[in-house]
Amino acid sequence: MTTFTDPHKESFRLSMLIYDTRYRSMTIQVVAMFGFMLMAAWLINNTIQNLNALGKPIDFGFFSEPASYDINQRLIEYNSRDSHLRASFVGLLNTLMVAAMGCALATVLGVVIGVLRLSGNWLVARIMTVYVETFRNVPVLLWIVFFMAMLIETLPAPNAFRGENATASMWLGDSVAVTNRGLYVPEPLFSRSLGDVSFFGAFNISLDLIAIVAVLAGGLYVSHRIKVRADRVQEATGIRPTTWYQRLGVVAVPVIVLLAGLGFHLGFPALKGFNFQGGIYMRNSLLALWLALSLYTAAFIAEIVRAGILAISRGQTEAAAALGLRPNRIMNLVILPQALRVIIPPLISQYLNLTKNSSLAIAVGYMDITGTLGGITMNQTGRELECVLLLMLVYLTISLSISLVMNWYNERVKLVER
């Protein structure tokens, strides 16, 4: 027999924690929570005890000791006498660099390929389908290794540029050297440089770069103001004033004046000794990793873009066409702005994937943070647990930061609901 009357408050018994449906779920959750915490505590305790038994208690002191190894690609000053901490930081910057380059290229390629896959042109659409299916269905590690092998085996070694009967020559009027060690392109140099400014005594940033970025940002802001004013004039009078030369002028002229003032010239790479010297050197490892990660992720982004576009009702295209818009304006003004709202959330996770996949860099000897902190430092100091924990923390931080920025962007572009 069941009764439907509520029990009296005084009649609470301990067994009701299990048999009374009002309390049961809470009881189960509390028990499960305790179980989980016990499990975690046991794991941590076990680890600490075993490490102590092994004579290797957790200790981060090794970070201040000299790293003793060299890193080929360094965005900040570093030599083998610097600490493990600095070596890790060099690796972190390399990770961030390849991730940023990869996300940028993957987005451009992905959007273009995604749009082209919907093209009315049968051949173009099919070629893009083949691209997407090949790239996303082969593991990215294989692509990385494949690109590296292609670079190493097909391009000429620096030696081939040497001597009277050289078998290889530089491109674009002796300014770009393409070798199997990487790409050498001209570098910007300043004969009247402003020097560097030191940040916390840890790394230097060129004042020239800061000045150029500042002037460029200022120019872009003024250009934006001009556009806003033109919009207002157009709304008021219906006639849009011609502003392109003003907008180009306020961006370009100050930058050109600044560059001339700094004595801007290009430094060309030249074959000296064993290698090319001078110019910006993009190592084969960076190129292989960058291209492989970008092309692989672009295939996924293309599918996301395609899905986003297909999510916009066909009526929108037809309505826009009825208003007399041409196809590319329909895409830019009507379809893409709406599709972006569908595209952004899955795009975030592709950016995260690309960043995490960059940890495969060691396959081609690119010194990212997995190669420095999680590779050589871990190996030379024998502090596996400390290094791996830190490495996880670093990737977690990078990923959460990307999420944060992209979520903020998503908030801005998403449909305002009333």
Partner 1 sequence: MKKTVFLGALTVAGLAAGAAAAGTLDDVKARGKLNCGVTTGLVGFAAPDANGVWNGFDVGMCRAVAAAVFGDPAAVEFVPTTGKTRFTALASGEVDMLARNTTWTFSRDVDLKFEFVGVNYYDGQGFMVPKALGVSSAKELDGATVCIQTGTTTELNLADFFRANNISYEPVPIETNAEAQQQYLAGACDVYTTDASGLAATRASFEDPSAHVVLPEIISKEPLGPLVRHGDSEWGDVARWTLNALIAAEELGVTSANIDELAKGTNNPEINRLLGSEGNLGEMLGLSADWAVKAIKAGGNYGELFEKNIGENTPIGLARGLNAQWTDGGLLYSPPFR
Rounded Cα distance between 400 and 397, Å, is: 5
Tell me the per-residue interface mask from 311 to 350 with partner 1, x by CB under 8 A, - otherwise: ----------------------------------------
By CB under 8 A, what part of segment 43-72 binds partner 1?
45-46, 49, 54-56, 68-72
Shortest distance, position 62 Cβ to partner 1, whole Å: 9
Shortest distance, position 335 Cβ to partner 1, whole Å: 46
- What is the full DSSP assignment across 20-40? -HHHHHHHHHHHHHHHHHHHH
Return the number of other C-beta atoms located less than 10 Å from residue 170's C-beta: 19
Q: Is 138 in the site for partner 1 (CB under 8 A)?
A: no
Q: Is 169 in the site for partner 1 (CB under 8 A)?
A: no
Q: Which stretch binds partner 1 (CB under 8 A): 1-9, 86-94, 238-246, 381-389?
A: 381-389
Residue with smaller CB distance to partner 1, 18 or 166: 18
Q: What's the angle, vertex CA 357, arms to CA 388 and CA 153, rounded to 5?
A: 115
Please list the helix, strand and coil fractions of the chain in percent, rounded to the nearest 5, in that order.
Answer: 65, 10, 25
By CB under 8 A, what part of segment 73-112 binds partner 1?
79-81
The binder of partner 1 chosen from 139, 195, 345, 382 (CB under 8 A)? 382
Rounded Cα distance between 215 and 219, Å, is: 6
* Residues touching partner 1, count (CB under 8 A): 48
Shortest distance, position 135 Cβ to partner 1, whole Å: 24
Rounded Cα distance between 54 and 52, Å, is: 5
Shortest distance, position 139 Cβ to partner 1, whole Å: 17
Q: Which stretch binds partner 1 (CB under 8 A): 170-178, 217-225, 272-280, 287-295?
A: 272-280
The binder of partner 1 chosen from 273, 314, 408, 417 (CB under 8 A)? 273
Nearest CA to 214 out of 248, 182, 177, 255 is that of: 255
Which residue type, as a one-letter code, is found at position 230?
Answer: A
Rounded Cα distance between 283 and 101, Å, is: 14
Helix axes 244-262, 207-237, angle to 10 degrees: 170
By CB under 8 A, what part of segment 177-236 binds partner 1?
180-181
Q: Which stretch binds partner 1 (CB under 8 A): 3-11, 213-221, 361-369, 394-402?
A: 361-369
The binder of partner 1 chosen from 10, 153, 411, 417 (CB under 8 A)? 153
Rounded Cα distance between 369 and 375, Å, is: 8
The binder of partner 1 chosen from 275, 316, 338, 403 (CB under 8 A)? 275
The dihedrals phi and psi of 187, each to the nearest 5 degrees, come to -110, 150
Token pair, residue 411, equals 């908030």
Q: Is 269 in the site for partner 1 (CB under 8 A)?
A: no
* Element of type H or E holding 239: none
Q: Is 363 in the site for partner 1 (CB under 8 A)?
A: yes
Within 8 A by CB and 6+ apart from 270, the residues are 276, 277, 278
Q: Which residue has the tokens 């493990």?
A: 84
Q: Give the end-to-end CA distance of the chain in Å, rounded to a whole number.
A: 51
Shortest distance, position 22 Cβ to partner 1, whole Å: 19
Binding site for partner 1 (CB under 8 A): 18, 31, 35, 38-39, 42, 45-46, 49, 54-56, 68-72, 79-81, 149, 152-153, 157-160, 180-181, 272-275, 277, 284-285, 362-363, 365, 367, 371, 375-376, 379-382, 384
